[in-house]
């Protein structure tokens, strides 16, 4: 009895080894970069984590095909390295010894990528399925480009300042014109005059309040001094 | 009788609010973008600390004397460049016209550089910074091809900003976003120069002092970055053997010359608004020394950041190699670190050479990363922006950096515009009734319309042409004639008397020797060497061509003949005015001297102008 059991187990194991090996048909290589993603909070990859992986893959297959036939034992892992990377296949329980086609597995993974990532606290970059590329998310574009808004603000400030300066300049000029025209009016009224005699302004002749006649003042020289 | 109103002794010329404003304006004019992106580059390629030797020799024998000459001239004559040179001697009027012409040409393209700075500034408010990520291609399957092959930073500069054409002959279309920024820049320039020095004097407090603040902030930040000390060591380690190369001395002389913004006429305009009794000797020495110290001060953060960028680039290169090796050999993570990378590589190479060769690892050489030296727009818009992405809080650093560049450029623009504005105000062509605001508005509007051609696809090639030909050779010629004119035509003895009136001291031996012999000789040598170097190789330019086989390397192309003709025209146009005006005056004089009623004009003296 025991011998039959052992024989069956070894047959199964050999069959598994046939199905899951590097570059086997419908096998995928998975690479995890736990230390890069989590740093000090990194967990070690052990048998429990492998069990979780099998469970998550079974979950993904069930969700995709909507048949509740995929069991954890259908997911086979092999060649686990220290990197942490390994190969896996999903066997078909209905047909013995065959694996689920790679396209189905890929579709299941794409559908549930987020759930798979979050189960391991990883992201697209740190949990890689080497044959499956993730689609790039489009960059977030705001409705109005930010630079136009900033540009509008800057331009408004500058135009306002220019208008202010020009208006201030015009007002100053009007004030100056008014002042100079007021001074002209005062001059016309005769309060500020330049008296002119024979075309010569009086100041030039240096008259002392008009009482001294400069022509006769020079006659003092005629008299000799005593 | 009544007393007439007091006749004012002033000539109604605007003046500076205080001496500090004047010094700050001169410093702002001299300190420009070249202090940040040309001096550190020259230091780097010419043997680090050793470059300071020819630099300071050039400063002593060329920079300071010429600067003092221009400031003293403007202060003595109290006129802009054209009228000043007309007054010195009518035969030298062409010198003034030439420097006015150069100021016009330089103003046109300099503001377009500020346009690029403004474009980057308003894009710095976006999160993430637009030059940090590549956009997707049309069908969203991958990244944009041009961006993927070069880098995101290169793509943003060449495609999103310039939208550059592969050839200078292909003009491309006007880029509307650059037109908007150009209009804004000219509006800012108009705002600050609207009433001449009344408004620039207020604006200069901000634009001249702010860059120093930002440089200090960058200095502190830069020194804390990893790899900063490597960058600084690389910059300042002197390599005295480079001094044997005459190219180093030529670069030092031209750098000092263009850095101090000599022969633009702007310095003459600035000092013409000074009171007559002002110590311009001290001013000149102050401005020159501050300018050189600023260059040195600016090179420290620049090289800290470059060292940081080289270090991160080197680390990235190593990390990429490490990942490839770990994935290939399925080794556990963090088994190979940067420190033991070399030991691992040698071990693996000996055990599995084919596998290692199959990985196609890039060789990571730290020295190679440091050696990537760039000057000019490449330093600011490609290298520095890349480094900023790597810093934490990159938006704030980007905003600060671009405001600093903008202030540096704007304060230099003030000097350029003053060099254009002041002579026009004094020319009798413009009637006195036109308000200053209108004149400056007309100048800014016309300049904006002409500068629209720099917003074409080929605009940046044209700016390179203007910078290389209009902003270099004519200045040497004009400066040479300035020195010769003052020393030998006006006669240095007379000028010495005028200077004594202004500063209270006679010209000492240093000024006498440099003005009479050393500076003109030095200028002549630099000019000849410059021309020889330009003629030796046929002028070529580096074009950004995505279809080139060696892309992302730039394609070396030669200028077509019609572009070469424009280059020669740009270089010769300002210089040609010097002999033309002299000839014109000669003809006028000989014709007038034939008339019987001809009276020779009075000999002009500086004191008489006051």
Interface contact flag, B136 A192, Cβ < 8 Å: no
Mean pLDDT, chain B, integer: 87
Instruction: Report the SS3 class of residue B50.
Output: helix
Chain A residues at the B interface, defined by Cβ less than 8 Å, are 31, 33-36, 81-85, 136, 138-139, 146-147, 150-151, 154-155, 158-159, 161-162, 165-166, 169, 173, 191-195, 201-203, 207, 209-210
User: What's the pLDDT score for residue B2?
Assistant: 46
Q: Give the mean pLDDT of B466-475.
A: 86
Q: Give the mean pLDDT of B306-329.
A: 86
User: What's the pLDDT score for residue A216?
Assistant: 62
* Per-residue pLDDT tens over the stretch B429-467: 666 777 888 888 999 999 999 999 999 989 999 998 988
User: Rounded distance, CA B516 to CA B486, Å?
Assistant: 10
Preferred mutation among B116, B120, B125 to probe A, highest tally of A CBs within 10 A: B125
Interface contact flag, A169 B188, Cβ < 8 Å: no
- In a domain, residue A37? The reply is yes
- Residue B593 pLDDT more than 90? no
Of B180, B191, B331, the CB nearest to A151: B180
User: What's the pLDDT score for residue A202?
Assistant: 57
Interface contact flag, B1 A151, Cβ < 8 Å: no
Instruction: Grade residue A160 by pLDDT with cuts at 50, 70 and 90.
Output: very high
Lowest mean per-residue pLDDT among B59-63, B227-231, B431-435, B502-506: B431-435
Instruction: Grade residue B294 by pLDDT with cuts at 50, 70 and 90.
Output: very high
Chain A residues near residue B133 by CB distance under 8 angstroms: 139
Interface contact flag, A147 B1, Cβ < 8 Å: no
- In a domain, residue A197? The reply is no
Preferred mutation among B1, B135, B406 to probe A, highest tally of A CBs within 10 A: B1
Q: What percent of chain B has pLDDT over 90?
A: 40
Nearest CA in chain A to B136: A138
Interface contact flag, B195 A162, Cβ < 8 Å: no
SS3 content of chain B, % helix, strand, coil (to 5): 70, 0, 25
* Per-residue pLDDT tens over the stretch B90-113: 889 999 999 999 999 999 999 999
User: What's the pLDDT score for residue B190?
Assistant: 93
List CB contacts of B571: < 8 A, sequence separation 6 or more.
B469, B470, B472, B473, B474
Nearest CA in chain B to A80: B330
Nearest CA in chain A to B5: A192
Interface contact flag, B133 A155, Cβ < 8 Å: no
Q: Which two tokens stand for residue B138?
A: 């049309």
Is pLDDT larger for residue B7 or for residue A171? A171
CA-wise closest residue to B103 among B257, B286, B269: B269
Instruction: Grade residue A141 by pLDDT with cuts at 50, 70 and 90.
Output: low
Q: Give the mean pLDDT of A159-173.
A: 90
Q: How far is A195 from chain B (nearest CA, A)?
A: 6
Chain B residues near residue A161 by CB distance under 8 angstroms: 191
Is pLDDT larger for residue A214 or for residue B591? B591
CATH number at A30 reads 3.30.70
- In a domain, residue A205? The reply is no
Are B186 and B413 a contacting pair, CB within 8 Å?
A: no
How many independent structural domains does chain A possess? 1
Distance of CA A223 to the CA centre of its chain: 104
- Residue B199 pLDDT more than 50? yes
Counting one residue from A and one from B, how many pairs have CB atoms under 8 Å apart?
87
- Residue B341 pLDDT more than 60? yes
- In a domain, residue A109? The reply is yes
Nearest CA in chain B to A195: B1
| Number of other CB atoms surrounding residue A188 within 10 Å | 10
Nearest CA in chain A to B135: A139
Interface contact flag, A155 B333, Cβ < 8 Å: no
Chain B residues near residue A31 by CB distance under 8 angstroms: 327
| Number of other CB atoms surrounding residue B553 within 10 Å | 12
Are B67 and B288 a contacting pair, CB within 8 Å?
A: yes
Q: Where are the beta strands (DSSP E) in A109-160?
A: 127-129
* Per-residue pLDDT tens over the stretch B207-253: 999 999 999 999 999 889 888 898 888 888 888 888 888 888 888 98
Of B2, B123, B334, the CB nearest to A147: B123
Interface contact flag, A136 B136, Cβ < 8 Å: yes
Of B184, B333, B435, the CB nearest to A36: B333
Instruction: Grade residue B8 by pLDDT with cuts at 50, 70 and 90.
Output: very low
User: Rounded distance, CA B568 to CA B574, Å?
Assistant: 11
Domain that holds residue A121: 1-129
Q: How far is A16 from chain B (nearest CA, A)?
A: 23
User: What's the pLDDT score for residue B7?
Assistant: 39
Q: How far is B435 from chain A (nearest CA, A)?
A: 9
Q: Which helix H or strand E contains B557, and what residues bound it? A: strand B555-558
Interface contact flag, A165 B1, Cβ < 8 Å: no
Of B2, B119, B331, the CB nearest to A83: B331
Interface contact flag, A33 B199, Cβ < 8 Å: no
Instruction: Grade residue B11 by pLDDT with cuts at 50, 70 and 90.
Output: low
* Per-residue pLDDT tens over the stretch B510-538: 999 999 999 999 999 989 988 888 888 77
User: What's the pLDDT score for residue B5?
Assistant: 44
- In a domain, residue A184? The reply is no
Interface contact flag, B188 A158, Cβ < 8 Å: yes
Q: What structural domains and CATH numbers belong to chain B?
A: 19-310+328-535+547-593 (1.20.1740.10)
- In a domain, residue A198? The reply is no
Preferred mutation among A44, A165, A190, A191 to probe B, highest tally of B CBs within 10 A: A165
Q: Give the mean pLDDT of A136-146.
A: 66
Binding residues of B: 28, 30-31, 35, 259, 291, 408, 412
Q: Give the mean pLDDT of B168-194.
A: 92
User: What's the pLDDT score for residue B3?
Assistant: 46
For the residues of B480-494, what is the DSSP string, one character each? HHHHHIIIIITTHHH
Interface contact flag, B333 A34, Cβ < 8 Å: yes
Lowest mean per-residue pLDDT among A131-145, B159-173, B217-231: A131-145
* Per-residue pLDDT tens over the stretch A45-90: 888 988 998 899 888 888 888 766 778 888 888 888 888 888 888 8
- Residue B120 pLDDT more than 90? yes
Q: How far is A95 from chain B (nearest CA, A)?
A: 33
Q: Give the mean pLDDT of A123-145.
A: 73
Preferred mutation among B127, B138, B187, B438 to probe A, highest tally of A CBs within 10 A: B187
Nearest CA in chain B to A209: B1
Interface contact flag, B136 A138, Cβ < 8 Å: yes
Is pLDDT larger for residue A187 or for residue A100? A100
Instruction: Grade residue A191 by pLDDT with cuts at 50, 70 and 90.
Output: low
- In a domain, residue A56? The reply is yes
- In a domain, residue A76? The reply is yes
User: Rounded distance, CA B204 to CA B30, Å?
Assistant: 13
* Per-residue pLDDT tens over the stretch B245-282: 888 888 898 888 889 999 999 999 999 999 888 898 99
* Per-residue pLDDT tens over the stretch A39-54: 888 888 888 988 998 8
List CB contacts of B515: < 8 A, sequence separation 6 or more.
B65, B69, B483, B486, B487, B492, B507
Q: How far is B597 from chain A (nearest CA, A)?
A: 30
Nearest CA in chain B to A211: B1
Are B252 and B54 a contacting pair, CB within 8 Å?
A: yes
- Indicate the pTM of the whole model: 0.83
Q: Where are the beta strands (DSSP E) in chain A?
A: 28-32, 75-78, 85-90, 127-129, 196-197, 200-201
User: Rounded to 5 degrees, what are φ and ψ at A223?
Assistant: -85, 130
Of A33, A162, A173, the CB nearest to B333: A33
- Residue A210 pLDDT more than 60? no
* Per-residue pLDDT tens over the stretch B534-551: 888 778 888 888 888 877
Instruction: Report the SS3 class of residue B112.
Output: helix
CA-wise closest residue to B319 among B359, B364, B259: B364
User: What's the pLDDT score for residue B4?
Assistant: 44
User: Rounded distance, CA B18 to CA B605, Å?
Assistant: 27
Binding residues of B for Na(+): 28, 30-31, 35, 259, 291, 408, 412
Of A161, A169, A203, the CB nearest to B437: A169
Nearest CA in chain A to B189: A158
User: What's the pLDDT score for residue B115?
Assistant: 95
User: What's the pLDDT score for residue A211?
Assistant: 60
User: What's the pLDDT score for residue B1?
Assistant: 44
Is pLDDT larger for residue A225 or for residue B537? B537
Of B136, B191, B331, the CB nearest to A139: B136
Of A35, A84, A146, the CB nearest to B125: A146
Interface contact flag, A169 B122, Cβ < 8 Å: no
- Residue B486 pLDDT more than 70? yes
Chain A residues near residue B438 by CB distance under 8 angstroms: none
Chain A residues near residue B137 by CB distance under 8 angstroms: none
């Amino acid at each position: 009895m025991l011998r039959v059991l052992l024989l069956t187990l070894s047959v199964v194991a050999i069959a598994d080894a046939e199905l899951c090996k590097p570059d086997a048909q419908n096998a995928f290589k998975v690479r995890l970069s736990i230390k890069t993603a989590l740093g000090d909070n990194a967990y070690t990859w052990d048998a429990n984590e492998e069990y979780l992986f099998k469970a998550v893959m079974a979950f993904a297959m069930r969700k995709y095909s909507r048949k509740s036939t995929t069991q954890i034992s259908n997911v086979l892992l092999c060649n686990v390295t220290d990197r942490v990377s390994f190969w896996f296949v999903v066997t078909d329980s209905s047909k013995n010894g065959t694996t689920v086609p790679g396209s189905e597995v890929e579709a299941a993974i794409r559908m549930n990528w987020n759930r798979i990532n979050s189960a391991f606290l990883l992201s697209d970059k740190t949990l890689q399925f080497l044959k499956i590329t993730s689609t790039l998310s489009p960059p977030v574009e705001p409705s109005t480009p930010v630079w136009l808004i900033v540009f509008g603000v800057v331009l408004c400030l500058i135009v306002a300042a220019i208008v202010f300066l020009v208006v201030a300049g015009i007002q100053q000029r009007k004030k100056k014109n008014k002042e100079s025209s007021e001074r002209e009016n005062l001059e016309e009224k005769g309060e500020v005059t330049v008296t002119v005699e024979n075309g010569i302004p009086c100041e030039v002749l240096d008259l002392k309040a008009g009482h001294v006649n400069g022509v006769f003042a020079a006659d003092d020289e005629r008299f000799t001094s005593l | 009788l009544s007393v007439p109103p007091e006749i004012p002794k002033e000539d109604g010329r605007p003046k500076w609010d205080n001496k500090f404003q004047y010094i700050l304006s001169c410093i702002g004019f001299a300190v420009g973008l070249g202090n940040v992106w040309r001096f550190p580059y020259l230091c780097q390629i010419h043997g680090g600390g050793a470059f300071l030797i020819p630099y300071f020799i050039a400063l002593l024998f060329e920079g300071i004397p010429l600067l003092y000459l221009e400031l003293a001239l403007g202060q003595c004559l109290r006129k802009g460049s054209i009228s000043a040179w007309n007054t010195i001697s009518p035969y030298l009027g062409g010198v003034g016209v030439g420097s006015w012409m150069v100021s016009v040409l330089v103003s046109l393209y300099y503001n377009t550089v500020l346009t690029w700075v403004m474009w980057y500034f308003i894009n710095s408010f976006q999160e993430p910074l637009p030059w940090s990520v590549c956009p997707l291609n049309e069908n969203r399957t991958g990244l944009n091809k041009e961006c993927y092959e070069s880098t995101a930073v290169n793509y943003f500069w060449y495609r999103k900003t310039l939208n550059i054409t592969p050839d200078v002959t292909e003009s491309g279309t006007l880029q509307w976003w650059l037109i908007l920024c150009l209009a804004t820049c000219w509006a800012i320039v108009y705002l600050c120069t609207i009433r001449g020095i009344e408004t620039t004097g207020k604006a200069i407090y901000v634009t001249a002092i702010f860059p120093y603040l930002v440089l200090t902030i960058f200095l502190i930040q830069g020194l804390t970055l990893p790899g900063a000390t490597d960058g600084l060591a690389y910059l300042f380690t002197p390599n005295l053997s480079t001094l044997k190369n005459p190219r180093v001395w030529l670069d030092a002389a031209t750098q000092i010359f263009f850095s101090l913004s000599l022969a633009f006429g702007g310095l003459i305009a600035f000092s013409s608004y000074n009171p007559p009794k002002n110590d311009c000797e001290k001013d000149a020495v102050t401005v020159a020394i501050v300018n050189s110290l600023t260059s040195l001060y600016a090179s420290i953060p620049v090289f800290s950041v470059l060292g940081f960028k080289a270090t991160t680039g080197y680390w990235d290169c190593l990390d990429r190699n490490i990942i490839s090796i770990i994935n290939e050999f399925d080794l556990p993570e963090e088994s190979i670190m940067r420190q033991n990378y070399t030991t691992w590589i040698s071990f693996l190479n000996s055990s599995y050479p084919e596998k290692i060769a199959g990985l196609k690892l890039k060789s990571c050489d730290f020295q190679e990363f440091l050696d990537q030296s760039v000057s000019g727009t490449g330093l600011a818009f490609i290298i520095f922006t890349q480094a900023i992405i790597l810093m934490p809080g990159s938006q704030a650093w980007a905003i600060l950096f671009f405001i600093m560049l903008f202030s540096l450029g704007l304060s230099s623009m003030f000097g350029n515009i003053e060099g254009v504005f002041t002579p026009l105000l004094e020319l009798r062509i413009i009637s006195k009734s036109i308000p200053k605001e209108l004149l400056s508005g007309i100048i800014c509007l016309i300049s904006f319309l002409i500068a629209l051609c720099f917003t074409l696809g080929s605009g940046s090639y044209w700016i390179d042409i203007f910078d290389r030909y209009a902003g270099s050779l004519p200045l040497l010629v004009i400066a040479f004639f300035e020195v010769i004119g003052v020393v030998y035509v006006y006669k240095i003895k007379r000028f010495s008397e005028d200077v004594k009136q202004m500063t209270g001291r006679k010209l000492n031996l240093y000024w006498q020797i440099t003005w009479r012999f050393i500076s003109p000789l030095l200028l002549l040598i630099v000019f000849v060497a410059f021309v020889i170097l330009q003629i030796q190789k046929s002028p070529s330019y580096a074009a950004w061509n995505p279809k080139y086989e060696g892309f992302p390397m730039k394609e070396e192309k030669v200028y077509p003949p019609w572009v070469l003709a424009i280059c020669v025209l740009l270089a010769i146009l300002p210089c040609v005015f010097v002999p033309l005006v002299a000839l014109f005056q000669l003809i006028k004089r000989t014709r007038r001297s034939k008339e019987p009623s001809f009276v020779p004009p009075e000999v002009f003296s500086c004191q008489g102008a006051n």
